[in-house]
C-alpha cells in the first residue's frame, strides 16, 4: 500500500498557463525512498513541494491527484494542509543555513511543530521527544545544546537539526530537497546514513530530490528521472542505473565523474530548456544523438517495460548504447625544477593573527593539472587566492618560471598578471552584469594586447569557438545566459589573456553534471592544445580524477598527501585521504 500516490499532476504558471511540470505520476510505499533526479529547471523541486500542497508564488496545481496517507492535497483548504504539514508529511530543506530561523533557539524550532500537531501532550512529553529525536540524529541533547542558536552549530549539525524537525512528529512521509548539497563528503555520508536509518526504522516514505546521481544511487530504492518538466524514466535503482533505456538517463550517467577512475566523463551538448522554451515532441530531442523526425513532432508515450520500469521515449528499443571510454592512467613523472611553471615553497598563510596555511609546497608544470582537494575550511581557496595575488597575508615564496611573484596582484608585472588567470566559483557573481559578453572578453584583449575593432572581434569569435559558445552571444548580457554558458564565458575571458596558468576555484560546483562534464572536456582539450597549466580547486574527489595529473589533499591548512592522481587514489597513504575516498558516493 502506497502512502504517497501522485497521479497525472500538472503544475502551471497562472499567468500565461505555461506548464512547469506535466503528467507527473508515482507512488511511494512506507519505508521506501524514491530518488527524484534531474538537472536545474527540470521541475523536481516544484514536484517535491507539491506533495506538501505548496507551490511557488504564481504557480498552481492545475489537474491531477496527490494522495498523502489518504488525504487529498490538490484543492485542499489551507487549514487542512496546515494540519498535514509537519505532522503527516514533513520537509527537509536544501540549505539549513538559511532555512533555520536565526532568531530562535533550536529547541524552540523543534518543539513548535510538536506543540502545533500534538497540543494534547504536556510540555514535558514534548521536551522528552525533542531529546529523543536529537539523540536519533546523533546530536547532543543537553540543556546547553538545546539553548543554542543555529549560527552556533556547524553546517552538518544544522542539517541534523533540520532532519530532527522533520522527524519530530513521526511523519509518514518526508520530502528531502537536496539536503546534502552544501556539506562535506564525510558529513554528507553521515547525514545520508541518518536519513536512511530513520526511514527504515520508522517506515517513513521519502522523496529524495537531488541532482547528484551518485548520492541517489546509494540511497534510493526507486528512481525517477525528470527532464523539462516530465518524468522521462522511472524504475527501481538497478533498472535506472544499470539497465536504463532512455538516452537522457544514459548520457546523464556517463556525465557522472567516476571516483574509481575507470571511465572518462562525457558531457551533453546544449542545456535543458526553460518551461517557456520547451520544444514540441520530446523535449530532449534537440540534444539527443538518437533523435529522428518523429521525436520532434510527437511527444513519446509512457511505455511500460517491466513491472516497475516505465519510459517516455520513441527510440528506447534501438537507442545506441554508449560504451564508456576507458580512462588512461595518468601518473606523470616529474620534470626538473627549472621547468616548473609555478612553484610554491614553505608558504604560511594568515588572516591577521590566525594562521590558516602551514608550510604548503606545490609545483605545477606546463600543460599539467594539479588538483587541490579538501573539505570546507581546509584553506584551499586561501591558497589559490595567494597564487592569484588576491590574498597577500602570507610568508614563503611563490615563484613563476623561477621568478618570485609579488604578493599582491598590483605588485606583479603586467605579463605575470596576464599569464596567471583566475576563474571564480560563481559565474553569476564574477561577470559584470551590465556589459555584453563581447565587451567582457574584449576588455582583456584591449588590456593585454591592445587589440581593438575587427581584430578583437575575430579573436573573440575564436575564443567562443574554443569554449563551444555560439558567436551570437557577444551582444548578450549575462542574465540571458544559463549558468553553464556563463562559466564558459568566464573561461573564455581567462583564455583571452593567453595564460600559462589558470587557477580554477570550484568552477563547476554551481553547474549541472552534464554541463560540468562538457566544461571539463573543454579544459582537457585546451590543456593539450595550448599547454596551459591548471590549478583545479575542488571538494569533489570524483571530479578530480577526471581532470588532474597530480593531487594535493589539504586538511586544516596542511597538505596531508601530495602525489600522482592514480597512485594517491589507488593506494592513499594518509588516513584522511582514505576517509574522504571511502565517503565519496559512487555508482556501485
Partner 1 sequence: MKRIRDFFNQGGLLLFVVGRVLAGIPIVVALSLLVFMATQALPGDAAVAYLANTATPERLALIREQLHLNDPIWLQYIHWASGALRFDFGTTLTGETQVTTILAERIQNTLILMGSSGLVAIPLSIAIGVYSAVRRGKLFDNVSSLITLVLAALPEFVVAIFVVFLLATNVFQIFPAIAFIDPGTLAWSRPDMLVLPTLTLVLAVTPYVSRIMRGSMIEVMESEYIQMARLKGLSERTVILRHALPNAIAPTIQVIALQLAWLAGGVVVVEAVFAYPGIGTVMIDSVKGRDLPIVQAITLMIAALYVVLNILADIGTILSTPRLRTKYARKNVKSDVFAAMGGDE
**Alpha-carbon Rg for the chain in angstroms:** 25
CA 41 to chain centre: 14
- Half-sphere exposure (Cβ direction) of 284: Cα atoms closer than 13 Å: 29
Quick one: which segment of 24-32, 101-109, 330-338, 394-402 binds partner 1 (CB under 8 A)? 101-109
Q: Which of 162, 324, 160 is nearest to 251 (CA)?
A: 324
Tell me if 524 sits within 8 A of 446, measured CB to CB. no
Give whichever of 185 and 532 is closer to partner 1, judged by the CB atom: 185
Query: Given phi > 0 = left and psi -120 to 50 = alpha, else beta, which region is 371?
Result: beta
Q: In what order do the strands lie in the sheet with 533-538?
A: 420-423, 501-505, 533-538, 369-373, 550-555, 558-564
Pick the closer one to partner 1 by CB: 85 or 251.
85
Q: Report the residue number, 148 or 573, with the smaller CB distance to partner 1.
A: 148
Q: How far is the CB of 553 from partner 1 (least distance, A)?
A: 17
Give whichever of 190 and 251 is closer to partner 1, judged by the CB atom.
190
Q: Among residues 90, 94, 196, which one has the least CA distance to residue 155?
A: 94
Name the residue nearer to partner 1 (CB basis): 150 or 499. 150
- 110 by Cβ neighbours in 10 Å (0-12 / 13-18 / 19+) ranks as buried
Please report whether residue 296 would count as binding partner 1 according to CB under 8 A: no
Tell me the window of 87-95, 240-248, 404-412, 577-585 that interacts with partner 1 (CB under 8 A).
87-95
CA distance 55 to 10: 12
Residue ranges in 374-413 that form contacts with partner 1 under rule CB under 8 A:
376-377
Per CB under 8 A, the list member of 7, 13, 65, 149 interacting with partner 1 is: 149
Asked if 121 is part of the footprint of partner 1 (rule: CB under 8 A), the reply reads: no
Query: Rounded distance, CA 274 to CA 40, Å?
Result: 9
- Helix, strand or coil, per DSSP, at residue 385: helix
The only residue of 35, 87, 257, 388 in contact with partner 1, by rule CB under 8 A: 87
Shortest reach from residue 156's CB to partner 1, in Å: 4
Nearest-angstrom CA–CA distance, 313 and 234: 12
| Binders of partner 1 in range 161-200 (CB under 8 A) | 165, 184, 186-187, 190
From the list 293, 214, 295, the residue with the least C-alpha distance to 257 is 214
The least distance separating partner 1 from the CB of residue 100, rounded to whole angstroms, comes to: 6
Alpha-carbon span 388 to 423, nearest angstrom: 10
Shortest gap between Cβ of 170 and partner 1 (angstroms)?
Answer: 14
Longest alpha-carbon distance in the chain: 78
Site for partner 1 in 62-81 (CB under 8 A): 81
DSSP code at position 350: E
The reply on whether position 418 binds partner 1 by CB under 8 A is no
* Stretch of 98-106, 334-342, 490-498, 524-532 lying at the interface with partner 1 (CB under 8 A): 98-106
In b/e form, how buried is each residue of 374-412, taking b as 16+ CB within 10 angstroms?
A: bbebbbbbbbbbbbbbbbebbeeebbbeeeebebeeeeb
Taking the least distance from each CB to partner 1, the nearer of 86 and 585 is 86
CA atoms of 463 and 497, how far apart (whole Å): 10
Residue among 149 and 449 whose Cβ is closer to partner 1 = 149
Closest separation in Å from C-beta 280 to partner 1: 34
Q: Which of 550, 544, 485 is nearest to 518 (CA)?
A: 485
Per the rule left: phi > 0, alpha: psi between -120 and 50, beta: everything else, 128 is: alpha
Q: Please identify, among the stretches 149-157, 304-312, 332-340, 364-372, the one whose residues bind partner 1 according to the rule CB under 8 A.
A: 149-157
Beta carbons within 8 Å of 65's beta carbon, 6+ residues apart: 5, 6, 7, 8, 9, 72, 74
Which one of 6, 28, 36, 85 is in contact with partner 1 (CB under 8 A)? 85
In the complex with partner 1, the residue whose CB is nearer, 145 or 569, is 145
Of the pair 352, 453, the CB lying nearest partner 1 is at 352
Any contact of residue 52 with partner 1 (CB under 8 A)? yes
554 binds partner 1 (CB under 8 A): no
Phi, psi at 75, each rounded to 5°: 80, 5
Residue range at the interface with partner 1 (CB under 8 A); choices 3-11, 20-28, 109-117, 514-522: 109-117
Does 584 sit near partner 1 (CB under 8 A)?
no
Q: Does 119 bind partner 1 (CB under 8 A)?
A: no
**Residue 104 lies near partner 1 (rule: CB under 8 A):** yes
> Least separation, in Å, of the C-beta of 379 and partner 1?
12
Considering the complex, state which of residue 190 and residue 527 has its C-beta at the smaller distance from partner 1.
190
93 touching partner 1, by CB under 8 A: yes
Q: Smallest distance from the beta carbon of 179 to partner 1, in angstroms?
A: 12
91 binds partner 1 (CB under 8 A): yes
CB of 540 to partner 1, least distance (A): 18
- Residue placing its CB nearer to partner 1 in the complex, 117 or 417: 117
- Return the SS3 of 526: helix
Site size toward partner 1, by CB under 8 A: 41
Among 8, 63, 135, 154, binds partner 1 (CB under 8 A): 154
**Can you list the pairs that 425-432 forms with residues at least 24 positions away whose Cβ atoms lie under 8 Å?**
425/505, 425/506, 425/507, 425/509, 425/510, 426/510, 427/483, 427/486, 427/487, 427/489, 427/490, 427/507, 427/510, 428/478, 428/483, 428/486, 428/510, 430/490, 431/478, 431/486, 431/489, 431/490, 431/493, 432/478
Please say which residue, 4 or 52, places its beta carbon nearer to partner 1. 52
| Spatial separation of the C-alpha atoms in residues 32 and 44, rounded to whole Å | 18
Q: Is 86 in the site for partner 1 (CB under 8 A)?
A: yes
Q: Which is nearer to partner 1, 8 or 376 (CB)?
A: 376
Candidates 113-121, 320-328, 398-406, 566-574: pick the segment binding partner 1 (CB under 8 A): 113-121
CA distances from 508 to 255, 424, 486 (A): 13, 10, 11
User: Taking each helix axis from N to C terminus, what angle separates 483-496 and 453-466, rounded to the nearest 10 degrees?
Assistant: 130
- Binding segment (CB under 8 A) for partner 1, from list 100-108, 284-292, 396-404, 578-586: 100-108
Nearer Cβ to partner 1, position 117 or 486? 117
Q: Which is nearer to partner 1, 190 or 486 (CB)?
A: 190
Note the residues at the interface with partner 1 (CB under 8 A): 52, 54, 81-87, 90-91, 93, 95, 98-104, 112-113, 116-117, 144, 148-149, 151-154, 156-157, 165, 184, 186-187, 190, 352, 376-377
Amino acid at each position: 500500500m502506497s502512502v504517497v500516490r501522485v497521479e497525472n499532476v500538472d503544475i502551471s504558471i497562472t499567468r500565461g498557463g505555461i506548464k512547469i511540470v506535466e503528467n507527473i505520476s508515482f507512488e511511494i510505499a512506507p519505508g521506501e525512498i524514491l530518488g527524484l533526479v534531474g538537472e536545474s529547471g527540470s521541475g523536481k523541486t516544484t514536484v517535491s513541494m507539491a506533495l506538501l500542497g505548496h507551490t511557488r508564488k504564481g504557480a498552481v496545481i492545475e489537474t491531477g491527484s496527490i494522495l498523502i496517507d489518504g488525504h487529498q492535497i490538490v484543492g485542499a483548504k489551507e487549514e487542512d494542509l496546515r494540519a498535514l504539514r509537519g505532522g503527516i508529511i514533513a520537509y527537509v530543506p536544501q540549505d539549513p543555513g538559511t532555512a533555520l530561523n536565526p532568531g530562535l533557539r533550536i529547541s524552540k524550532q523543534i518543539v513548535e511543530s510538536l506543540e502545533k500537531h500534538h497540543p494534547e501532550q504536556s510540555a514535558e512529553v514534548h521536551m522528552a521527544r525533542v531529546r529523543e529525536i536529537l539523540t536519533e540524529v546523533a546530536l547532543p541533547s543537553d540543556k546547553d545544546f538545546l539553548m543554542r542558536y543555529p549560527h552556533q552549530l556547524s553546517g552538518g549539525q544544522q542539517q541534523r537539526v533540520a532532519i530532527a524537525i522533520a522527524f519530530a512528529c513521526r511523519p509518514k512521509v518526508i520530502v528531502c530537497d537536496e539536503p546534502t548539497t552544501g556539506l562535506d563528503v564525510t558529513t554528507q555520508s553521515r547525514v545520508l546514513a541518518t536519513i536512511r536509518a530513520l526511514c527504515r526504522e520508522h517506515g517513513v516514505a521519502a522523496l529524495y530530490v537531488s541532482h547528484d546521481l551518485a548520492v541517489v544511487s546509494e540511497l534510493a530504492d526507486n528512481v525517477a528521472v525528470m527532464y523539462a518538466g516530465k518524468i522521462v524514466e522511472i524504475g527501481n535503482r538497478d533498472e535506472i542505473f544499470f539497465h536504463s533505456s532512455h538516452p537522457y538517463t544514459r548520457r546523464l550517467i556517463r556525465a557522472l565523474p567516476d571516483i574509481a577512475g575507470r571511465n572518462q566523463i562525457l558531457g551533453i551538448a546544449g542545456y535543458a530548456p526553460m518551461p517557456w522554451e520547451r520544444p514540441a515532441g520530446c523535449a530532449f530531442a534537440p540534444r539527443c544523438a538518437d533523435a529522428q523526425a518523429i521525436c520532434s513532432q510527437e511527444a513519446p508515450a509512457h511505455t511500460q517495460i517491466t513491472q516497475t520500469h516505465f519510459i517516455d521515449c520513441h527510440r528506447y528499443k534501438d537507442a545506441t548504447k554508449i560504451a564508456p571510454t576507458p580512462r588512461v592512467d595518468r601518473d606523470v613523472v616529474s620534470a626538473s625544477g627549472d621547468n616548473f611553471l609555478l612553484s610554491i615553497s614553505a608558504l604560511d598563510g594568515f588572516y591577521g593573527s590566525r594562521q590558516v596555511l602551514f608550510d604548503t609546497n606545490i609545483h605545477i608544470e606546463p600543460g599539467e593539472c594539479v588538483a587541490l582537494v579538501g573539505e570546507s575550511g581546509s584553506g584551499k581557496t586561501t591558497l589559490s587566492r595567494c597564487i592569484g595575488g588576491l590574498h597577500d597575508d602570507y610568508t614563503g615564496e611563490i615563484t613563476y618560471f623561477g621568478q618570485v611573484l609579488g604578493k599582491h596582484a598590483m605588485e606583479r608585472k603586467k605579463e605575470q598578471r596576464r599569464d596567471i588567470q583566475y576563474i571564480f566559483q560563481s559565474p553569476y557573481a564574477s561577470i559584470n552584469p551590465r556589459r555584453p559578453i563581447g565587451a567582457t572578453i574584449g576588455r582583456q584583449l584591449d588590456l593585454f594586447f591592445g587589440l581593438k575593432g575587427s581584430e578583437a572581434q575575430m579573436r573573440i569569435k575564436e575564443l567562443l569557438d574554443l569554449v563551444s559558445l555560439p558567436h551570437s552571444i557577444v551582444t548578450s548580457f549575462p542574465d540571458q545566459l544559463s549558468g553553464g554558458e556563463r562559466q564558459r564565458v568566464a573561461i573564455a575571458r581567462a583564455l583571452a589573456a593567453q595564460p600559462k596558468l589558470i587557477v580554477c576555484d570550484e568552477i563547476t560546483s554551481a553547474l549541472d553534471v552534464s554541463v560540468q562534464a562538457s566544461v571539463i572536456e573543454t579544459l582537457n582539450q585546451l590543456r593539450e592544445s595550448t599547454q596551459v597549466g591548471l590549478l583545479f580547486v575542488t571538494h569533489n574527489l570524483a571530479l578530480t580524477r577526471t581532470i588532474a595529473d597530480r593531487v594535493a589533499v589539504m586538511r586544516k591548512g596542511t597538505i596531508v598527501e601530495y602525489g600522482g592522481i592514480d597512485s594517491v587514489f589507488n593506494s592513499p597513504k594518509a588516513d584522511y585521504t582514505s576517509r574522504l575516498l571511502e565517503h565519496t558516493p559512487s555508482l556501485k
